[in-house]
Structure 1
Amino acid sequence: MRLRIFTEPQQGASYATLRRVATTAEALGFDAFFRSDHLMKMGPGDGLPGPTDSWATLAGLAAETSSIRLGTLVTAATFRLPGPLAIAVAQVDDMSGGRVELGIGTGWYEAEHRAYGVPFPPLKERFDRLEEQLAIITGLWETPLGEKFSFDGTYYQVADSPALPKPVQRPRPPVIIGGGGRRRTPALAARYADEFNANFVSVADAGAQFGRVRDACRAAGRDPESMTYTVAHTVCCGKDDAELRRRAAAIGRDVAALRDNGIAGTPSEVADKIGEYAEAGASTVYLQVLDLADLDQLELIAAEVLPQV
């Protein structure tokens, strides 16, 4: 089981804070550092100093880390055009020596689109745009050197692109698709994704969604075992009940609710919950860390959870 650190910097984090978390995660032996791609905070708090761009952040971290993998969970297709996004991700992949992964989705938080002047089309159109973006991004990366790439879609057209630059990872960096949709999401994953992520759902629901993705792979003529199945959940870990309560209070959460709807408890309890997701088919867990100042929690998980999983 691989454990990855997943952050939500729109809630209030500078680049320096993210760098500190990423370099600590690398030193402690976590598999990856991922961040969300949002333009505005959610819930209480002032969100200061304000949002940071996901790919600018990962570009900086590419130069300041050496082994940990880096990615988004997930980039909103509404925020960027597919061609420039393919260039940016390929460049960060080069800067990192081939350690980048692209999680991408439709975008869902309407308020942040309004706040920063980003169009927010209806859900069907967002899915249609995402599908075209996936075709273009993967097509640009996978086009052989010296050949050109074209695409004629409803929303995006690409004509005689030199399809450069190429990412370091060949044929391309891993693509991650996730969500709870029962039909279109599994179909998109089966066609374009290397990894499917079930986020913030119960063990039973994660297993059911993995099953839908496996069925979609078979329908598409793809081996379901060629897909990596992962989950993401809020983590709250304490060496004892007092520390657990303190950490839960720091992120404004109830311990009982975290145990029911997250990955929370003592190191043994956290390891047991991760084991339940492994039995449901997950090979990787993204641990959503909400208190980015609490590096001691990362040290506790690395010391007492990682060896168990």
Structure 2
Amino acid sequence: MTSSERPFRFGVNLRTVDDRRSWLDGARRVEELGYDMLLVPDHLGFPSPFPALVAAAGVTDHLRLGTCVLNAGFYNPTILARDVATADVSTGGRIELGLGTGYVRAEFETAGLPFESAGQRVAHLRTTVETVYDLFDDESHAPRPTQSHVPLFLAGNGDKMLRLAAERADIIGFTGASTDRDGTMSLNSPADLGSRVQFARDAAGDRADSIEWNLLVQRVVITDDHEQITAELHEQFAPELTPAEFAEHPTILVGTVEQIAAKLNELRERTGISYITVSEPDLAIFAPVIELLRSC
């Protein structure tokens, strides 16, 4: 199966935990709406990922559960292996491990951790990946995950990060954006995103079609007035892009359900991206698109 033939998979990033009931109700709703993955990001001020995922597993039946993505700089690799394995056992083997380098300087400073260069952060991420999966491969190591292989999701944009992902990841994620030294994010052009995906595919070589390719969507709006809404969002999200570039951007999904589904089908055909993640505010808005794409 080539990447362009891989079935779609859909995830949502949840980050609001007001109380136990609302979190569990939210997890049930993710499954009811047809999503495959419930994901929790890893930023200070947001829920701690593994307790939130384990709680969600208790009220869902088949929903996969993942981190999108852990800041590797926050973790000792050996302790992380213990936590991932425990979470996998506690969820009945439903965990997918998402990792990144971390990019928000202020969070490192608040945590009392050094904010090293991008190259040093990638090196630490490589050590983390190698340590965690070496421990999982060691039959004497305890605790052991339920899954024979916990899927590894690596997300990033730079050359070093994408080379590591091409070498090791089961899933490679893109945001269609880049960050400056302080962690401020800005959208790249669609052409830039395409070149980053192609760079990773070239680096993966024969592995490219066995990798699942992911995109984090920034906004979903269901509307008959595509042009007006797109123009308004353009000023809000990325005035540095041309109107045509912004309208084409895969992370901004504006239009009818049919138009958005067609855009995602074209994206999969062109790039191999078949795993689409949306953010919590778009949870219900995006559900009709999932239903349509499932029926195609």
Q: Which runs of 5+ in 1 are unaligned?
A: 40-49, 147-162
Structure 1: distance between partners of 2:88 and 2:264: 29
Matched, 1:6 2:12: yes
In the TM superposition, what is the alpha-carbon distance from 1:134 to its structure 2 partner? Answer: 0.8
Indicate yes or no: 2:159 matched with 1:175: no
**Runs (4+) off by over 6 Å:** none
Cross-structure match for 1:210: 197
Is contact 1:36–1:54 with CA below 8 Å preserved after alignment? Answer: yes
TM-score by length of 2: 0.79
Q: Which residue of 1 aligns with 2:288?
A: 300
- Note if 1:197 corresponds to 2:173: yes
CA contact (8 A) 1:206 1:280 kept: no
Provide the rounded CA distance (Å) in 2 between the counterparts of 1:263 and 1:139.
40
Question: Which residue pairs with 1:166 in the alignment?
Answer: 144
Higher relative contact order (CA 8 A, sep 6+): 2
Task: Give matches, 1:50-65, under 5 Å.
Answer: 50-65=45-60
| Unmatched segments (≥5 aa) in structure 2 | 1-6, 178-188
Task: Return the letter of the residue paired with 1:92.
Answer: A
- The aligned counterpart of 2:61 is 66
Deviation digits for residues 89-136 of structure 1 (CA, Å, limit 9, x no counterpart)? 111111222111111011100112222333322222211111111110
Give the aligned residue type for 1:98: G
Matched, 1:108 2:103: yes
* Compared CA separation, residues 265 and 259, structure 1 to 2 (3 A): farther
Deviation at 1:3, TM superposition (A): 3.5
2:184 equivalent in structure 1 = none
- For residues 174-228 of structure 1, the C-alpha deviation after alignment (integer angstroms, 9 at most, x for no partner) is 101122212x12321133211111223555444432322232233xxx5332222
Alpha-carbon separation, structure 2, partners of 1:122 and 1:283? 29
Query: What is the TM-score with the length of structure 1 in the denominator?
Result: 0.75
Say which of 88, 94, 99 aligns to 1:93: 88
Question: Could you say what secondary structure the match of 2:99 adopts?
Answer: strand
| Aligned-residue offset at 1:165 | 1.4
Q: 2-side partners of 1:32 and 1:87: how far apart?
A: 22
Structure 1 CA distance, aligned partners of 2:19 and 2:247? 30
Q: What amino acid is the match of 2:201?
A: R
